[in-house]
């Protein structure tokens, strides 16, 4: 009993002198427990204010663990380094979705189920063909994934676990097809249908790069590198897009529009768009010699060093380390990307610089991934799409966990209202100038 009491906070409201005992669980207090703290019985009660969710847990989750200070990333308890070394992407997808590493039979079934659903309805193809020749592939991806919703109206039954299972297979299977077609569209090349004899990543490469050969054979080093990059990007707990997935999904919207919404969140340069921004930045720097001057500008507040810094990691992002190793294998096949030298110099100088040390700014996953993608032949506009393919797995796991969590309801934050108090309507003829109106 004594111990139980110890796991509490006593809050004294200095406005009233009243004292409140609030339970502490997992180092967390419930924001709703603050509501009882009020000066008069008829007032609303105390809220917590946390713009950008800097210190608010929005859920309990068993999927991904990050220790940002120590640079640790675990999926379902397994270190990312071990998974990247030993697993295929679909094996990791199974782990993230169902909580345990699959047996050989389970993996085989999972791969078969995903493979079965790689094709999209011919009208999705027609829809994609309707985009302008220079449409951004991420815009095409988001819209086409959302459009899948119209082909599977039964997906609205989000409370039905069997239905969810089917839609999860469909989404994981179809995102590479849509992604590859948005790339082919960009180049004016005919869309390539999936080849279900091929493993997940090799099939994706087939849909990207097959020309006139009767059977596409993926380079095994590049296929493995892509698989590793997919593993590294599969989930990252409650980031902006996962939060979007949970928020939109909490209204019980179907998973196709919900994944599209999460992908829209991913498309921003502060999230998934960062590796595109890294390459633009490296190209702008132009040569190793210009790096010190560029860093000086950043320190003067002229922009940010793209691919550096992270809301959670205040240490080297463990994914960045694995990507750096993968880069070496890729460059053996593709030849060295000249931007790599600029990136390495940038990292070296930044990591020794007081400004970056003090703020705990280290390279994140996006710092090197773009350089690899570019060496593989992807245009920068495809980078976020390449992120969205594996992250679909994480989004779906987060969505499923949210739906099964009895404590979750439709997401609906509070606000602190700072606008006008009630005022009387002013008819048009009495409005005067905008300045006079603002003063009303």
Phi and psi at residue 65, in whole multiples of 5°?
-115, 130
Per CB under 6 A, 158 contacts ligand COA: no
- The shares of helix, strand and coil residues in the chain, as percent rounded to the nearest 5, are 55, 5, 40
Active site residue 86: no
Report the residue from 70, 165, 296, 359 that binds ligand COA according to the rule CB under 6 A: 359
Smallest distance from ligand COA to CB 232, Å: 11
Among 361, 371, 375, 382, binds ligand COA (CB under 6 A): 361
The H helix count followed by the E strand count for the chain is 19, 5
Report the nearest approach of ligand COA to the CB of residue 307 (Å): 5
Q: Which of 102, 255, 309, 390 binds ligand COA (CB under 6 A)?
A: 309
* Catalytic residue (one of 233, 235, 310, 317): 310
Beta pairing, strands 19-23 & 78-79: unpaired
Q: Among 137, 176, 255, 307, indicate the residue that binds ligand COA (CB under 6 A).
A: 307
Angle, helix 274-285 to helix 383-404, in steps of 10 degrees: 150
Q: How many residues bind ligand COA (CB under 6 A)?
A: 16
233 binds ligand COA (CB under 6 A): no
Q: Is 42 a catalytic residue?
A: no
Q: Which stretch binds ligand COA (CB under 6 A): 144-152, 254-262, 306-314, 429-437?
A: 306-314
Residue 394 within binding range of ligand COA, rule CB under 6 A: no
Question: With binding defined as CB under 6 A, does residue 265 bind ligand COA?
Answer: no
Q: Which of 86, 108, 159, 311 binds ligand COA (CB under 6 A)?
A: 311
Contacts of the segment 12-18: beta carbons below 8 A, 24+ positions apart: 13/37, 13/39, 15/39
Active site residue 117: no
Q: Please report, in angstroms and rounded to a whole number, the separation of the first and last CA atoms in the chain.
A: 59
Q: Does 296 bind ligand COA (CB under 6 A)?
A: no
Distance CA 75, CA 438 (A): 53
b/e sequence 245-277, b meaning 16+ C-beta within 10 Å = bbbbbbeebbbbbbbbbbbbbbbebebbbbbbb
The reply on whether position 283 binds ligand COA by CB under 6 A is: no
Gyration radius (Cα) of the chain, Å: 25
**Residue number of the CB atom closest to ligand COA:** 309
The interface region with ligand COA, picked from 5-13, 105-113, 358-366, 383-391 by CB under 6 A, is 358-366
Residues whose CB is less than 8 angstroms from the CB of residue 108 and which lie 6 or more positions away in sequence, other chains included: none
Looking at the Cβ atoms of 210 and 233, the one nearer to ligand COA is 233
Centre a 10 Å sphere on the Cβ of residue 153 and count the other Cβ atoms it contains.
9
| Residue 366 in the binding site for ligand COA (CB under 6 A) | yes
Counting contacts by CB under 6 A, is residue 305 touching ligand COA?
Answer: yes
Given the residues 67, 136, 195, 271, the one annotated as active site: 271
Least Å from the CB of residue 201 to ligand COA? 22
Stretch that binds ligand COA, among 124-132, 149-157, 361-369, 405-413 (CB under 6 A): 361-369
Q: What is d(CA 175, CA 183) in angstroms, rounded to the nearest whole number?
A: 12
Residue nearer to ligand COA on the CB measure, 128 or 305: 305
| Cβ proximity to ligand COA, 186 vs 391, nearer residue | 391
Q: Which span sits near ligand COA by CB under 6 A: 27-35, 111-119, 252-260, 360-368?
A: 360-368
DSSP 15: T
Q: How far is CA 18 from the centre of its chain?
A: 44
For the record, the structure tokens of 383 come out as 């980078």
Q: Count CA atoms closer than 13 A to 170's CA, side-chain side.
A: 20
| Interacting residues with ligand COA (CB under 6 A) | 270, 274, 298, 304-311, 359, 361, 364-366
Residues identified as active-site: 271, 310, 366
């Amino acid at each position: 009993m004594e111990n139980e009491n110890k796991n509490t906070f006593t809050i004294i409201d200095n406005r009233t002198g009243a004292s409140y005992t609030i339970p502490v669980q997992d180092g967390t207090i419930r924001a709703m427990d603050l509501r009882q703290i009020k000066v008069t019985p008829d007032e609303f009660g105390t809220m917590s204010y946390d713009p950008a969710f800097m210190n608010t847990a929005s859920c309990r989750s068993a999927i991904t663990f990050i220790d940002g200070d120590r640079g640790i990333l675990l999926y379902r308890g397994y270190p990312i380094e071990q998974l990247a070394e030993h697993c295929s992407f679909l094996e990791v997808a199974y782990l993230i979705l169902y909580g345990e590493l699959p047996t050989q039979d389970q993996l085989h079934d999972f791969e078969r189920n995903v493979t079965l659903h790689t094709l999209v309805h011919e009208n999705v193809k027609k829809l994609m063909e309707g985009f302008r020749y220079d449409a951004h592939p991420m815009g095409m991806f988001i819209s086409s994934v959302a459009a899948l919703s119209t082909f599977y109206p039964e997906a609205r039954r989000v409370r039905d676990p069997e239905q969810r299972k089917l839609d999860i297979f469909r989404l994981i299977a179809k995102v590479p097809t849509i992604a590859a077609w948005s790339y082919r569209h960009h180049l004016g090349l005919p869309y390539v249908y999936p080849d279900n004899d091929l493993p997940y990543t090799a099939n994706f490469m087939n849909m990207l790069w097959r020309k006139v050969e009767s059977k596409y054979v993926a380079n095994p080093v590049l296929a493995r590198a892509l698989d590793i990059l997919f593993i590294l990007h599969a989930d990252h707990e409650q980031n902006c897009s996962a939060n979007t997935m949970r928020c939109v999904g909490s209204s019980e919207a179907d998973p196709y529009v919900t994944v599209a919404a999460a992908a829209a969140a991913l498309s921003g340069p502060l999230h998934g768009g960062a590796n595109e921004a890294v390459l633009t930045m490296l190209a702008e720097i132009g040569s190793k010699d210009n790096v010190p001057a560029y860093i000086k500008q950043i320190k003067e507040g002229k922009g940010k060093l793209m691919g550096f810094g992270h809301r959670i990691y205040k240490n080297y992002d463990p994914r960045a380390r694995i990507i750096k190793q993968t880069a070496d294998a890729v460059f053996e096949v593709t030849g060295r990307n000249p931007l790599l030298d600029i990136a390495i110099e940038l990292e070296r100088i930044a990591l020794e610089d007081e400004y970056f040390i003090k703020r705990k700014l280290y390279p994140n996953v996006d710092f090197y991934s773009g350089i690899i993608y570019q060496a593989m032949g992807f245009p920068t506009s495809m980078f976020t799409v390449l992120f969205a393919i594996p992250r679909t797995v994480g989004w779906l796991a987060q969505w499923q966990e949210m739906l099964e969590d009895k404590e979750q309801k439709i997401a609906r934050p509070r606000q602190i209202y700072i606008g006008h108090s009630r005022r009387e309507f002013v008819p048009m003829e009495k409005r005067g100038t905008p300045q006079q109106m603002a003063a009303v």
